[in-house]
Structure 1
Amino acid sequence: MEMDGRSSSVRAGIETDSVPLRQGRSKIIYQFTQQNLPACKPVLSPPWVISTFFVVGVIFFPIGLLSLHASQNVVEIVYRYDVECVPVLYRSNKLAYIKNNLIPKNCSKSLKIPKHMKAPIYIYYQLDNYYQNHRRYVKSRSDQQLLHGLKHHDISSCAPEDFKHGLPVVPCGLIAWSLFNDTYSFFRGIDEVKVNRKNIAWKSDRDHKFGKQVYPFNFQNGTLSGGAHLDPNIPLSDQEDLIVWMRTSALPTFRKLYGRIEEDLDADDIITVKLLNNYNTYSFSGSKKLVLSTSSWLGGHNNFLGMAYISIGASFIFVAFVFMLIHVKNPRPNGDTTNLSCNWKPMSG
């Protein structure tokens, strides 16, 4: 009987405690719906608004100038070669040229260095009108197979490049099948300029997304070859061209890193580029460009960020001066005594 009395008293205590708790929650919800919760509401007086616009403009404008100066200091050479490297007889039918394996695809071009280019000089290939973000193209891959190889059997997502001659394809899918296969070599006079092809892919991709014991198998073994072949004796984690290519682009115009030149190029140097024009962009009216670029603390050549900062900073300063003139001509009649209004009301039970 004593235990029953104690338990009933405990239950009664819990119930009496829960009633104020429910009432407190209801009061908070009521205050929230009535927009009557404790809050600080700034009163935007003219001096406060003018000062804010002016300070933001003064901060943004020099940042924009620095960003634009860094972008302008980047030296960039862009050379489109997909038309010039087609023999004159095939200029009217480029598709027949690229599909004919009996026609040599060698091409040579001399580039003049406009300004001193400080190492490292990054080499990119740029493709235009190439939609790597197409839904079927993006889905045609198997991340588990790239990591585990033939141990992973479910490669249905890789169709139509999943099986050839009854055997699985490693790496499977349309993305790997269409691997870019143009090559470039550079010469200054008779001396070859060395190109470092290592560490062009993200380290996280090399270490965690491509298997160190996974080797190409049955790759490009169909009737139609899509792009580059892979060395079956090199694991996927070391096939950095493939790793770079497998990180698909979101836009139809994109650049991918090919390598780095780790020696300076002087102004007015003549660099001879010998390339193999293998990749078929003619079937979809695409274009191919070779890009040589230095870098700055902000990255490559991109004026947008600097122009955006300058535009916003100039706009804020202009608006601050307009507000100041309006305030001088028509001052606030009641003055500006309060900048912050706090409404901290103690909650009663």
Structure 2
Amino acid sequence: MAEEKSRRPAASLLKQQKLPAWQPVLTPRVVIIGFLAVGLLFVPLGIAFLAAANSVKQVEVDYTQCNPATAPNGIQNCTVSVALPEMKAPVYVYYQLTNYYQNHRRYVKSRNDAQLRGDPPKKWSSLEDCLPRIAVNDDSSENNPSEWFLPCGLIAWSRFNDTFELTPSGSSTPLPWVKDGIAWYSDVKEKFRNPPPTAPGRRLDPPVDFVDQDFIVWMRTAGLPSFRKLYRIIPNDIPAGLYTFSIQSRFHVLPFGGTKGLVVSTASWMGGKNTFLGTAYIVVGILCLLIGVAFLAAQTLFPRKLTGDFYTLSE
């Protein structure tokens, strides 16, 4: 009769859970010092973060009512005036959308990364994530690669296509701005390439340039339904004054109850204008200081004598 194999763990300190362990005891002194240290660290950090956020100059303008549905050719031309304070370069221009759920699971996965890297897939099955925007007819185009969309997927098909110019009041010359640098370096260099000219497929109308940084920015989906994406960078200082946005509106937002707008902003060493982090640090720091002082008062007025070792070493 074969001997039954034992399932008992090996007699090592690790497998028998007998390794030495240091177990600190949280004495009142340690707890009080910990709370006070965190408070004294967080409050100055919060003030620094808040000061950096408040140093950012930012102006928002809504142009939702520039509705392309009312234009016969689907392009509504509008102008929006905006008063800008003096801004030091670089100045960033964003477009922002609300109630647009780019984070929806089906929307996020509706793309083909191999295709976006310039390597059109050879198999229909590899494009299934792009449903319902794979081909001219998703039910009958499986064996006809010339009808497969380049690029496929809901993200590419819904790309933002409004265009803008920013002109100082009293001038006919728009401010110079640049597109280079609005997308992530890793995306530009590694994740997007145009397919070969001979690659079979149905180009969208108008055709999509896979390495266009506006397209690359759009393809990086936002995590929240209200978001902004970088449109252009103004490399020069902007003097205070009245400016005009000239808008060619093509992107529809009213059917899903959304809004769209433009943001002109500077940046600090922390990035854009966001006071949440600084406020959170200050609130947590003050709470820690109050708790530390309360524990200190309680320990001073009503001290408790501790017995036994403060720290133990188990073997």
TM-score over 0.5 for the pair: yes
Q: 2:105 corresponds to which residue? A: 135
Pairing 1:211–2:211 present: no
Larger-Rg structure: 1
Stretches of structure 2 lacking an aligned partner (at least 5 in a row): 1-7, 138-145
Distance in 1 (alpha carbons) for counterparts of 2:10 and 2:57: 69
One of 43, 50, 53 as aligned partner of 2:35: 53
- 8 Å CA contact retained: 1:200, 1:257: yes
2:202 counterpart SS class: coil
Select the structure that is richer in helix.
Answer: 1
Whether 1:280 aligns to 2:257 is no
CA contact (8 A) 1:60 1:310 kept: yes
> Separation in 1 of the partners of 2:266 and 2:207?
29
Normalised by the length of structure 2, the TM-score is 0.85
Q: Percent identity?
A: 37
- Tell me, yes or no, if the aligned pair for 2:9 and 2:15 is still in contact at 8 Å: no
Shift of 1:161: 2.0
Check conservation: 1:137, 1:175, Cα contact below 8 A: yes
Say whether residues 1:250 and 2:227 are aligned partners: no
* Correspondence for 1:183: 163
What residue number does 2:4 align with? Answer: none
Measure the CA separation in 1 of the matches of 2:159 and 2:269. 31
Equivalent of 1:198, from 177, 180, 186?
A: 180
Asked if 1:241 is matched to 2:228, the reply is no
Distance in 1, matches of 2:285 and 2:100, equals 36
CA 37–150 in structure 1, closer or farther in 2 if over 3 Å, else same: closer
Q: Check whether the contact 1:82–1:277 (CA below 8 A) recurs between aligned residues.
A: no
For residue 312 of structure 1, what is the amino acid of its counterpart? V
**What is the CA distance between 1:98 and its match in structure 2?**
1.2
Describe the superposition over 1:322-341 as per-residue Cα deviations: whole angstroms up to 9, x where unpaired. 01110111012358x96x51
Cα distance in 1 between the residues matched to 2:280 and 2:41 = 13
Residue of structure 2 in register with 1:298 after alignment? 270
The number of equivalent residue pairs is 295
CA RMSD of aligned residues (A): 2.6
Q: Is the contact between residue 145 and residue 152 of structure 1 (CA under 8 Å) also seen in structure 2?
A: no
Distance of aligned partners of 1:152 and 1:291 in 2 relative to their CA distance in 1, 3 Å threshold: farther
Residue 300 of structure 1 and its aligned partner are, at CA, apart by 0.3
Which residue among 58, 81, 89 is the counterpart of 1:110? 81
Q: What is the aligned partner in structure 1 of residue 96 from structure 2? A: 126
TM-superposed deviation, 1:44: 2.1
After TM superposition, list the pairs within 5 Å mapping 1:19-58 onto structure 2: 24-25=11-12, 29-30=15-16, 32=17, 37-58=19-40
Pair 1:314 & 2:301 matched:
no
